Amino acid sequence: MKVKTYRKLHRVLVPVLVLFFLIVSVTGLVLAWKKHSTGILLPETEKGASSKMDNWLQLDSLSTIAALCLKDSISGNISARIAKIDIRPQKGIAKFIFEDHYYEIQLDCTDGKILSVGKRNSDWIEEIHDGSIVDRVFDLKGDPVKVFYSTIIALASLFMSITGIIIWNKRRKKLNIRK
């Protein structure tokens, strides 16, 4: 393709893509800081009484405590369906992250004591970042929007970078010839 064609494509595509690039850039920047946000984006990880696993409660007991805590702390109507359990052996805690909302419960694995009930704001920011928020809102299985959105953004970014370098190189060579 000629440089002129690349320039035309840039002029047409940039206004369309700039909003998506801004969303990905801003959310990516925010997510880079999530562990250093002093609890704003992600609850701080607490420390349990013991890191010795032989002193810990069974996982099913901890799950029951987490579900009861969620119902008592947030709402009796909220779903207690667990998406994942993040065990931190060195800290002696278990983080319960739930499927249908952005709350997390941290429990001491030794005695089941509630260490933290917090909102994981980084989770919805990540869903905006990768497009999976649309999958969540419309309850789409298999993350089709996330895959499509991520692929288009990645290919567009790659295309714009490569063609931008080609355009810049041609212009730079022209300027050097004129001097």
At which of 99, 119, 139 does a domain end? 119
pLDDT of residue 4: 86
Q: Verify that 24 and 83 share a domain, yes or no.
A: no
- In whole angstroms, give the CA distance from residue 154 to residue 131: 12
Q: Verify that 36 and 85 share a domain, yes or no.
A: no
| H/E run at residue 73 | helix 59-73
Q: Verify that 100 and 160 share a domain, yes or no.
A: no
Most distant CA atoms of the chain, gap in Å: 78
CA angle 17, 18, 21 (to 5 degrees): 85
Q: Verify that 104 and 64 share a domain, yes or no.
A: yes
Structural domain boundaries, residue 6: 1-41+121-179
Rounded average pLDDT per 10-residue block, the chain, 179 residues: 86 92 97 96 97 96 98 95 97 97 98 98 98 96 97 96 88 68
Total domains present in the chain: 2
pLDDT of residue 3: 84
Q: Mind listing the pLDDT tens digit for each residue in 49-100?
A: 999 999 999 999 999 999 999 999 999 999 999 999 999 999 999 999 999 9
pLDDT of residue 6: 86
pLDDT of residue 120: 97
pLDDT of residue 2: 86
| H/E run at residue 28 | helix 3-32
CA 31 to chain centre: 7
